[in-house]
Chain A
Amino acid sequence: MTGNPHAPNHLAPAGPGLRLTRRAALLGLGGAISLGRASLALAAAPTERRFVVILLRGALDGMAAVVPYGDASLATWRPGLLTGRPGQAGGPLDLGGFYGLHPALAGMHGLYAAGEFLPVHAIAGAWRVRSHFEAQDYLEMGDGEQRIDSGWLNRVAGAIPRPGRRDNAIAIAATPPLILRGKAPAASWLPENFRPPAALLYDEIAALNRHDPVTGPAFADGLRERGFIDMVQGGRHGRKRFAFPALARVAGRMLAAPEGPRLAAMEMFGWDTHVAQVPRLRYPLSALDHGLVALKAGLGAAWAHTAVLVVTEFGRTVRENGTGGTDHGTATVAFLAGGAVAGGRVRADWPGLAPGRLFENRDLAPTAELRALAKGVLAQHLGLDQAALLRIFPGSGGVAPMGGLIRTSA
């Protein structure tokens, strides 16, 4: 590698040459473009690059998804939340001797083996609030201190216009979530008559109505009739009903189309596991896992030029609470997946779980910041320079982009 990835020739005049120089910048080649690289550069010009953000609303317990089983303190904090050792039935799927993936994440484990999956652990946003609503706003606005009236992915769309296409970004949602709201045009799409299942939300709704003589029995009947029990337990019937993998496949096809958008936002619900976390987390994790595999299938060959960033607003308490769940915490895990990702390892500066190491004596301590991860992907994958990154994440000058996230050869 030579030169600076943010070399000024990134701003070369528009035309065929632009793509070359952008790619050159991506590759860290600076001004040193050789003809020998040209075909490669054209094949993977910036407009070929796809970037997807999946928001997990409700706070994923990072230590349930990527279990730091090698940390001796883990079992003392949450004995009831562990599902066994790697190699045991129901135990985590090993990620190289210290971490293991939740057993429902077999598809991600396969991507990991192929070097296309990169968990980033002990990461958190810049905010330290434990309100879902506030934290999700910050996660989507791209700030930790003040409110901005647009979402950061919208500002990314503004930074990489596509000639001939009005909107370069799409939300797989009824209306664009905050992350895609803003000046740059963004489409949103859901299949007609699509009813997003409320999944585990129904459980809570049934509980709210349980003692009501009118609505209680009605909800109970309705859930029984729909075979909801299967759905909660992640049975075959339930999985079919859960739409995320189906949506992810279609999103992949849209992104793969030559004229399609290059940026997409998706969202998933059902992560707020205050109660009975072990059974309740299996289902959304499985849906996310199937969703990533389906996204890859939908993208086809374009997967090689894709990076998917999976983020949640904060993590959950290290200690198991009194109802077999966890409460709102701080650091958690984020995922990067895709053919363009330099994966096959877990990236973390592990803070440790020994007493005294926890953040505010309750949470996994953050050792990395989400903006650093996002800026790293945007710089290396989409070739955005320092100035663009500062427009996308205002006030993030002190947060260096994480390096080494994207493969430097395709």
Chain B
Amino acid sequence: MTPAPIEAAIRFGYGPKPGESLPADAALWLRGQVERPDPLANGPGTTAVEGLEALHADILDRKRGLKPERVRRIYLAEARAVGDHLVDTAMPFRERLVWFWFNHFTVSLKRPFVAAVLGDYVRTAIRPHVTGRFEDMVLAVMRHPAMLMYLDNARSFGPDSIVGRRRHIGLNENLARECMELHTVTQAAGYTQADVTNFARILTGWSISPPLLLARGAPAFRFFAAAHEPGTPPLMGRRFPPGEAGGVAALRFLANHPSTYHSLAAKLATHFVADAPPPEAVARIEHVLATTRGDLKAVSLALVEAPGAPLAKLRTPMDYVVATTRALALPPGRRFPVLPAMAGLGEPLFAAPQPDGWPDTAAHWAAGEAMLRRVDWAYDVAARAGTHDPVAVADAVLGPLLSPATRNAVSRAGSRREALTLLFASPEFMRR
């Protein structure tokens, strides 16, 4: 089933931008975004190594009583770039996929050190794999300092490892548990606490290069054999080689487990189809995952072809802020900061409270005060609109999905600002 161009822009992107023409062939447009590489993947920006060096320099500054500034500056530049790209991207479907997967593999400023390497995390661990293999994304994520810091694996030591024995320190199960529960097989797979502990043992030594090694040109990720728990403890009934290779093999096993495929399919369908997606839609995506061994390009194409209706999903604050900013078509200089706006509406992109990321359903977001805040914000930003005709904006961003009631309210409003606020507060604009 091929959606109409405007439906494609709303369901699979962040809504149309007035003044930009819609694609003539929606299927071709969506496929093109999946088949072409992400221009930002492995692109320029502060690297993980530079971020870690800035972090260490900040820590030294703090010890000296100076105000640490480096990481803050890095983060602000990255956040601004992320906000601009969300609004300006020519590949909104790919961008939606990027942030879906980022949310799946959430890292958060709730651990402030993460700020130093967040940009690199998205650029190198998420973006290159969005249409690659799921197992490769898992490996990239689990080796990235952002995740290793966020879920504490950088300080997990094998109790019987050289370092563990010498310093009497041991496991931190945090990353192992969340990787199984949230990122891959989920509790539906029926694993036990022993599996979690053993997986934590398998992942010991997966850590970050210390400043001295970074200065000598070492990569950010480092496997410390001296911190690795010896042996081959069983994970869900299987044994993996000792050393770093064991972690890699275990992650590939978890990433391609049928239970992982099922949970990913359900999550993707919930994001792109409906809060309670039809079982057929989930089954279809699950089938693609299983038959392609987790090929996310094939999965993305299957999402486009899966049956689905426009406006079935409530926009999250992130979607809402980006869609509204695009609808206003403001030049970057006159735009409000996008990420702070998301935070103001309840979804600070890089500050999810928990490792399970932000929820994706109306039940969570359609709360009274939350909806009013959207309107307050929309009313505020609508004041920045130029002298466009609000009815033309409404037609451009919703096309045939614009209801007569909303169109009428917009055309009759007492000012451009009120007209645009009504558009942004309408039930159809609240959805995608």
* Residues of A participating in the B interface, judged by any CB pair closer than 8 Å: 57-59, 132-133, 136-137, 173-175, 178, 195-198, 201-202, 204-205, 208-209, 212, 214-226, 269-272, 274
User: How does the 8 Å CB contact mask read for B413-429 relative to A, with 1 for contact and 0 for none?
Assistant: 11111110110011100
A132: B residues at CB distance < 8 A: 413-416
Interfacial chain B residues near A223, Cβ < 8 Å: 368, 372
Q: Which of A133, A202, A221 contacts B415, CB < 8 Å?
A: A133
Interface residues of B (CB under 8 A from A): 314, 334, 362, 366-372, 375-377, 379-380, 383-384, 387, 389-390, 405-406, 409, 412-419, 421-422, 425-427, 430
Please tell me which one of the listed residues B362, B384, B426 contacts residue A174 in the complex, with CB atoms under 8 A apart.
B384
Flag if A221 contacts B414 (CB, 8 Å): no
* Complex contacts, A173 vs chain B, CB 8 Å: 383
A195 touches B376 (CB 8 A): yes
Partner of B379, one of A198, A221, A271: A198
Contact B366 A208 (CB under 8 A): no
The distance in angstroms between the C-alpha atoms of A215 and B425, with both chains bound, is 9
Q: Given A214-B430, A269-B414, list of 5 further CB < 8 A pairs?
A: A133-B415, A175-B384, A198-B376, A205-B425, A208-B422
Q: Would A214 and B418 be within 8 Å (CB), given that A198-B375, A223-B372, A274-B412 are in contact?
A: no
**Chain A: interface secondary structure?**
helix
Evaluate contact between B422 and A219: CB separation under 8 angstroms: no
Minimum CB–CB distance from A53 to chain B (whole Å) comes to 16
Give, as a whole number of angstroms, the nearest-CB distance from A247 to chain B: 13
Q: How far apart sit A58 and B370, CA to CA, in the bound complex (Å)?
A: 27
Contact A208 B415 (CB under 8 A): no
B-chain residues with CB within 8 Å of residue A59 when the two chains form the complex: 414
A345 to chain B, nearest CB (A): 30
User: Which residue of B369, B390, B406, B419 is within 8 Å of A208 (Cβ)?
Assistant: B406
Shortest Cβ gap from B376 to chain A (Å): 5
Q: Which residue, of B389, B422, B427, has the highest number of chain A Cβ atoms within 10 A?
A: B427
Closest A residue to B367 by beta carbon equals: A218
A55 to chain B, nearest CB (A): 9
Is the Cβ of A209 less than 8 Å from the Cβ of B426?
Answer: yes
Which residues of the other chain, B, contact A202 by a CB distance below 8 angstroms? 372, 375
Chain B: CB-nearest residue to A56: B414
Contact of B314 among A215, A222, A224, A225 (CB under 8 A): A215
Residues from chain A with a CB closer than 8 A to the CB of B367 are 218, 221-222
Q: Kindly list chain A residues whose C-beta atoms are within 8 Å of the C-beta of B405.
A: 208
Which residues of chain B are near A204, meaning CB under 8 Å?
A: 409, 422
Q: Which residues of B contact A270 (CB under 8 A)?
A: 414, 418
| B430 and A133 within 8 A (CB) | no
Identify A198's interface contact among B334, B412, B421, CB under 8 A: B421
Pick the residue among B334, B371, B421 that contacts A222 (CB under 8 A).
Answer: B371
Interchain residue pairs A-B with the least CB separation, the first 4: A58-B414, A222-B368, A272-B414, A221-B368
Which residues does chain A contribute within 8 Å of B379, judged by CB atoms? 195-196, 198, 201
Q: Check if B375 sits within 8 Å of A269, measured CB to CB.
A: no
18 A-B pairs (CB sep. < 8 Å): A57-B417, A57-B418, A58-B413, A132-B414, A133-B387, A133-B390, A174-B384, A178-B387, A195-B379, A195-B380, A196-B380, A198-B376, A204-B422, A215-B366, A215-B371, A215-B427, A270-B418, A272-B414
Provided the pairs A57-B414, A219-B371 are in contact, do residues A133 and B419 lie with their beta carbons within 8 angstroms? yes
Q: How far is the CA of A132 from the CA of B366 in the complex (A)?
A: 32
Q: What residues of chain A lie closer than 8 Å to B426, measured between beta carbons?
A: 208-209
Q: State in angstroms the CA–CA spacing of A209 and B416 once bound together.
A: 20
